[in-house]
């Protein structure tokens, strides 16, 4: 059987993330986007791209200190995420406040995402890859899947009929980070340090020792991704066009 993938890519090109003008980053928890895509976010913001963060949950169980569980840790996490977003140049941070690791409906989350997509009108969505092998955190799987389905359905007026769709508005691509199947490498030499400055803001989660481990691990990965490129540090994404998200047998190898 002849391998036709290169011809398929010519017919249905992978959208160019670096051409994005307005990006909505949909994350399960505060810090996910900073860790998975922080250097790219900083690069886009420096170029004048409008970037929004939207968190499904507010990390209400994200502490080992019993006294902080609930509202106290949520307040801390929101402040930390705001500081990190400010480091990178993010325009706004939006919170949906679904219960962290809780029993919420992916259907409700998807409809909330459709509402925000129609309101913000981004040309690119960024989110966690729900098809990451061995991903055990349901918030990650649910958020990635809800974001993917929202990208598939936002243009149908029967979905969330109370919110109008602006004529001509179109999402060009969805970029998954924390992915095992990257197809796009972004040169992040100029913003590599900013990524860790942002991650550092999440003090309640990441102590000095963990930050040092992150720096070493992500340094190795970024150099690996940039191998054979003209830059040193690469951040990677699986970028797909909305039409690749349904009944498209080649999506995994695009």
Q: Which residues here bind Zn ion, judged by CB under 5 A?
A: 28-29, 32
Nearer to Zn ion, 61 or 165 (CB): 61
Minimum distance, C-beta of residue 179 to Zn ion, in the bound complex (Å) = 14
Minimum distance, C-beta of residue 246 to Zn ion, in the bound complex (Å) = 26
Sign of the four-CA dihedral 146, 152, 155, 158: negative
Task: Answer whether 114's CB lies under 8 Å from 163's CB.
Answer: yes
Minimum distance, C-beta of residue 33 to Zn ion, in the bound complex (Å) = 9
Report residue 26: phi and psi, to 5°: -105, 115
Of 177, 190, 152, 142, nearest to 17 by C-alpha is: 177
Residues in the chain: 254
Minimum distance, C-beta of residue 111 to Zn ion, in the bound complex (Å) = 21
Q: Which two tokens stand for residue 38?
A: 């922080």
Nearer to Zn ion, 24 or 141 (CB): 141
Q: Which residues contact 212 (CB under 8 A, 6 or more apart)?
A: none
Nearer to Zn ion, 15 or 28 (CB): 28
Nearer to Zn ion, 30 or 122 (CB): 30
């Amino acid at each position: 059987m002849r391998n036709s993938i290169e011809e398929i890519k010519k017919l249905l090109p992978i959208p160019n993330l670096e051409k994005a003008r307005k990006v909505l980053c949909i994350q399960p928890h505060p810090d996910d986007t900073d860790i998975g895509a922080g250097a790219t976010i900083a690069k886009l913001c420096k170029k004048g791209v409008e970037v929004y963060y939207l968190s499904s949950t507010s990390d209400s169980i994200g502490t080992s200190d019993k006294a902080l569980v609930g509202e106290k840790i949520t307040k801390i996490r929101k402040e930390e995420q705001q500081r990190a977003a400010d480091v990178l140049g993010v325009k706004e941070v939006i919170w949906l406040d679904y219960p962290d690791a809780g029993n919420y409906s992916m259907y409700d989350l998807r409809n909330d995402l459709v509402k925000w997509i129609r309101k913000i009108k981004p040309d690119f969505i960024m989110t966690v890859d729900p098809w990451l092998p061995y991903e055990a955190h349901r918030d990650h799987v649910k958020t990635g899947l809800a974001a993917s389905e929202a990208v598939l359905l936002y243009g149908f007026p029967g979905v969330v009929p109370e919110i109008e769709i602006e004529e001509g508005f179109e999402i060009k691509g969805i970029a998954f980070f924390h992915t095992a199947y990257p197809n796009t490498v972004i040169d992040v030499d100029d913003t590599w340090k900013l990524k860790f400055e942002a991650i550092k803001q999440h003090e309640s989660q990441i102590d000095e020792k963990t930050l040092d481990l992150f720096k070493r691990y992500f340094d190795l990965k970024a150099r690996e991704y940039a191998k054979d490129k003209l830059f040193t540090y690469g951040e990677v994404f699986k970028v797909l066009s909305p039409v690749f998200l349904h009944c498209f047998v080649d999506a995994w190898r695009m």
